């Protein structure tokens, strides 16, 4: 009887020890070591402080790029060719040339193109019309020591009357020198425009008259 009670006592002691081990570190059959309470209650590390990146503005980068001269001397300019004035004056143009006038008046849309140091407005027109396979005719005028643009897209000076012809502007200003004498700078905006009234329909006026090359 005493041996039986002793066996029960031993079993009870073993059970108490095993229960304590389970409470401290999990099931002994899993082989897990007890987790100290200080570690178990440690709060998670704070997220690293972030700093907002500067807002990206494509226009700012574009403006900066336009006014940069690259190592090879190249830079960007904008070129457009338009005949808007003819849209309201088609009656001045021979009927067989009506098909040469785009419905929106745009022969060459405003496009950024590459220019090089020392190049002129005429250089860009000559290269880009050739590249775009747009007809362009010109001749040299000794009186102005400059090239004179007679036609673009087969629309010639005087096709819409005695006061009609091609004019160019740079950054909205109509220079008083020939296009082959006007040297370009980074970011320049070139426009070739057809006038039917000596430039008055374009917001300017050419004061010299009676010359074949008054538009240049």
Handedness of CA 108, 207, 157, 95 (dihedral sign): positive
Query: Residue 16: pLDDT above 80?
Result: no
Six-digit token string for 52: 């907002």
Evaluate whether 199 touches 174 at the Cβ level (below 8 Å). yes
Q: Where in the chain is the domain with CATH 2.170.130.30?
A: 58-202
Residue of higher predicted confidence among 199 and 56: 199
Summarised one tens digit per residue, pLDDT across range 33-80 is 443 333 333 444 444 444 444 443 444 445 566 689 999 999 999 999
pTM: 0.67
- pLDDT value, residue 65: 62
CATH 3.50.50.60 fits 58-202, yes or no: no
The four Cα atoms 85, 87, 88, 94 give a dihedral, to 10 degrees, of 100
- pLDDT value, residue 205: 73
């Amino acid at each position: 009887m005493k041996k039986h009670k002793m066996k029960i006592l031993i079993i009870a002691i073993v059970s108490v020890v095993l229960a304590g081990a389970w409470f401290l570190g999990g099931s002994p059959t899993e082989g897990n070591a007890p987790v100290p309470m200080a570690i178990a209650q440690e709060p998670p590390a704070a997220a690293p402080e972030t700093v907002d990146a500067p807002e990206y503005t494509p226009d700012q980068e574009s403006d900066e790029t336009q006014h940069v001269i690259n190592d090879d001397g190249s830079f960007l300019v904008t070129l457009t060719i338009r005949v808007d004035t003819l849209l309201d004056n088609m009656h001045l143009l021979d009927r067989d040339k009506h098909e040469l006038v785009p419905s929106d008046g745009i022969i060459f849309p405003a496009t950024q193109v590459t220019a090089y140091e020392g190049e002129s407005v005429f250089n860009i027109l000559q290269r880009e019309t050739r590249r775009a396979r747009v007809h362009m005719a010109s001749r040299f005028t000794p009186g102005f020591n400059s090239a004179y643009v007679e036609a673009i897209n087969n629309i010639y000076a005087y096709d819409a009357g005695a006061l009609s012809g091609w004019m160019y502007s740079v950054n909205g200003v109509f220079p008083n020198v020939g296009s082959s004498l006007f040297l370009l700078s980074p970011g320049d905006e070139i426009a070739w425009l057809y006038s039917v009234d000596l430039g008055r329909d374009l917001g300017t006026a050419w004061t010299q008259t009676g010359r074949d090359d008054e538009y240049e």
